[in-house]
């Protein structure tokens, strides 16, 4: 027997041994190459996917089997693996075809196959799976993702379940929650899981424009409708035809426009500004607000009839401090994403993670993202340390929640002192998280910043470049403007 076939026999025996050992533990595994294609699947996968699956799985992209949310090009686990990191205790749906989904728990890790002689050198990653039958019993155990949303808390898993349940629905949805909790992401996810997914997702911010401009933005106008209306223009409702109109900050909609919106929701018609003929709306409406609408109703700022028309399906996204289980999976996913964008594979030191877990996050997930962007920018090594984090300003008891316990000395993030870095800035200005803070900047400046940020999808690096200022200056101006 030549040495080549001897090696093959040894490799097969090693493979069978490892497969059997994993099967005895109730686990199956996939060996994946650099392109995220399955090279081998252990025989126990047949027990989840049916007879012969282990022969049909090799050659398929992992994203076909476990979904693009986890394993697509921007998937949470793809980014972690590309960054050289292991992930444990995730949940996903394993499938060979669209009609047959099996809930599994999974862990994935980079695999140094070159260092093990009996291994196929093409193997770059391994994914270990086990069936997860008790969907509800262990729902809170591992992080789950849907579209770009990541969570582990029962409260957010209920939101995910609702998104799933809405997938055949066209109902109007009202998403409420503090600023930065992920309302827009939830709206996008509902759209992506709806029959309108191939249609457009069009956002309009009711708080960003004054009345007449907003009306034209929403419903369009005809030439001559007002000074400056030099030609006909279609509005967002028409742009969203066949898709979803995301009406953000609906609590800020001026009363006359509330009447018009009510009419679209009631009988599906509207007029362009300056035109008498009615048009039919073909857009599904998802609205969001961080304003407490019942209070706005009692103060005469919001119409009660519109409120009930909007909240056909109400979804409340809880603040991050009320779902602390989500902080760690979010922080890890954000660190992998921000790190990957800058070609870095970073990990948290246990102390840095502890600081994040203890903070109250009055600015919610957006504040966490900002803090990690900052930390990645200043972190010099591979491990993110507490001193890399911006100063995290605790929420005071004056804001209706108990003050967080004082951090131990090693975790303290003082504005000055040996651990402080020059230019270190608070991630969040003090203020009530649920209401917009009174801007200190002039309103035109606030509007200009908001527009530039919106044009750049709130990517602060891109917005700073567009404005020709440094990120730190932008950060400071945003704070002054009350935008973060």
Ligand X SMILES: Nc1ncnc2c1ncn2[C@@H]1O[C@H](COP(=O)(O)OP(=O)(O)OP(=O)(O)O)[C@@H](O)[C@H]1O
User: What residues numbered 313-342 form the site for ligand X, per CB under 6 A?
Assistant: 330
The residue number with the shortest CB distance to ligand X is: 182
Residue 302 CA to residue 430 CA, distance in Å, equals 28
Contact pattern for ligand X over residues 337 through 376, marking x by CB under 6 A: ----------------------------xx--x-------
Stretch that binds ligand X, among 85-93, 104-112, 173-181, 194-202 (CB under 6 A): 173-181
Site for Mg ion in 173-192 (CB under 5 A): 184
**How far apart are CB 53 and ligand X at their closest, in Å?**
31
N- to C-terminal Cα separation, the chain: 70
Binding mask 140-169 for ligand X (x = CB under 6 A): --------xxxx------------------
- Residue 160: C-alpha distances to residues 145, 163, 198, 322 (Å): 8, 5, 20, 17
Q: What is the distance between the alpha carbons of residues 255 and 269, in angstroms, rounded to a whole number?
A: 18
Residue 391 binding target from Mg ion, ligand X, none, CB below 5 to 8 Å by type: none
- Closest approach of Mg ion to the CB of residue 158, in Å: 20
Q: Does 389 bind ligand X (CB under 6 A)?
A: no
Q: Which of 30, 26, 78, 79 is nearest to 57 (CA)?
A: 30
**Residue 365 binds what, of Mg ion, ligand X, none (CB under 5 to 8 Å, by partner type)?**
ligand X
Closest C-alpha to 190, from 65, 99, 289, 315: 315
- Residues 6 or more apart whose CB falls under 8 angstroms from that of 433 comprise 178, 179, 319, 362, 363, 364, 395, 399
Closest contact distance (angstroms) between CB of 319 and ligand X is 10
In angstroms, what is the minimal distance from the CB of 367 to ligand X? 9
CA 37 to chain centroid, in Å, comes to 25
Question: Under 8 Å CB-to-CB from 339, ≥6 apart: which residues?
Answer: 83, 345, 346, 376
For residue 369, state whether it binds Mg ion (rule: CB under 5 A): no
CA distance 425 to 446: 20
Q: Which residue of 69, 184, 252, 391 would you call a contact of ligand X, by CB under 6 A?
A: 184
Does position 290 bind ligand X by CB under 6 A? yes
Lookup result for tokens 């992998």: 336
| 111 vs 361 by CB, closer to ligand X | 361
Q: C-beta of 482: minimal distance to ligand X in Å?
A: 11
Residue 309 or 332 with smaller CB distance to ligand X? 332
Label the pairing between strands 313-316 and 173-176.
parallel
Q: Where are the beta strands (DSSP E) in 66-200?
A: 87-95, 101-110, 125-131, 144-146, 149-151, 173-176
119 binds, among Mg ion, ligand X, none (CB under 5 to 8 A by kind): none
Give the tokens for residue 280.
């039919």
Residues 224-263 that bind ligand X (CB under 6 A): none
Contact between 288 and 247 (Cβ < 8 Å): yes
Size of the site for ligand X (CB under 6 A): 17
Q: With CB cut-offs between 5 and 8 Å by kind, which of Mg ion, ligand X, none does residue 315 bind? A: none
* Interface positions with Mg ion (CB under 5 A): 184
* Interface positions with ligand X (CB under 6 A): 148-151, 177, 179-185, 290, 330, 365-366, 369
């Amino acid at each position: 027997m030549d040495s080549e076939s001897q090696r093959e026999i040894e490799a097969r025996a090693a493979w069978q041994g490892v497969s059997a050992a994993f099967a005895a533990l109730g686990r199956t595994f996939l060996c994946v190459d650099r392109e995220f294609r399955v090279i081998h699947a252990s025989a126990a996968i047949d027990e989840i996917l049916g007879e012969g699956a282990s022969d049909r799985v090799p050659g398929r992209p992992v994203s076909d089997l476990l979904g693009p949310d986890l394993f697509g090009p921007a998937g949470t686990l793809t980014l972690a693996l590309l960054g050289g990191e292991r992930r444990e205790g995730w949940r996903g749906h394993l499938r060979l075809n669209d009609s047959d989904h099996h809930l599994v728990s999974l862990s994935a890790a980079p695999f140094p196959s070159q260092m093990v002689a009996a291994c196929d050198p093409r193997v770059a990653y391994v994914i270990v799976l086990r069936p997860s039958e008790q969907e509800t019993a262990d729902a809170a155990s591992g992080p789950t993702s849907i579209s770009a949303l990541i969570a582990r808390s029962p409260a957010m898993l209920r939101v995910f379940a609702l998104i799933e349940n809405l997938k055949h629905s066209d109902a109007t949805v009202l998403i409420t929650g503090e600023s930065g909790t992920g309302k827009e992401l939830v709206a996008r996810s509902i759209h992506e899981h709806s029959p309108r997914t191939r249609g457009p997702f069009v956002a309009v911010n009711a708080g960003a424009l004054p009345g007449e401009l907003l009306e034209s933005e929403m419903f369009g106008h005809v030439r001559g409708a007002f000074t400056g209306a030099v030609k006909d223009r279609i509005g967002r409702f028409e742009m969203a035809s066949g898709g979803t109109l995301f009406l953000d900050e609906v609590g800020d909609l001026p009363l006359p426009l509330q009447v018009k919106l009510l009419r679209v929701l009631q009988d599906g018609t509207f007029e362009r500004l300056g035109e008498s003929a009615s048009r039919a709306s073909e857009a599904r409406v998802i609205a969001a607000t961080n304003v407490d609408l019942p209070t706005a109703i009692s103060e005469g700022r919001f119409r009660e009839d519109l409120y009930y028309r909007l909240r056909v399906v109400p979804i409340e996204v809880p603040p991050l401090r009320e779902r602390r289980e989500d902080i760690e999976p979010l922080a890890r996913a954000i660190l992998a994403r921000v790190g990957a964008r800058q070609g870095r594979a970073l990990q948290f030191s246990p102390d840095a993670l502890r600081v994040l877990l203890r903070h109250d996050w009055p600015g919610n997930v957006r504040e966490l993202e900002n803090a990690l962007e900052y930390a990645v920018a200043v972190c010099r090594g591979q491990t993110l340390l507490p001193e890399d984090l911006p100063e995290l300003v605790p929420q005071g008891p004056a804001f209706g929640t108990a003050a967080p316990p004082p951090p131990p000395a090693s975790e303290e993030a003082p504005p000055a002192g040996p651990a402080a870095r020059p230019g270190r800035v608070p991630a969040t200005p003090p203020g009530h998280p649920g209401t917009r803070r009174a801007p200190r900047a002039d309103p035109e400046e606030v509007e200009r910043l908001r527009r530039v940020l919106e044009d750049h999808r709130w990517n602060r690096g891109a917005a700073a470049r567009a404005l020709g200022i440094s990120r730190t200056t932008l950060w400071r101006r945003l704070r002054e403007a009350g935008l973060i």
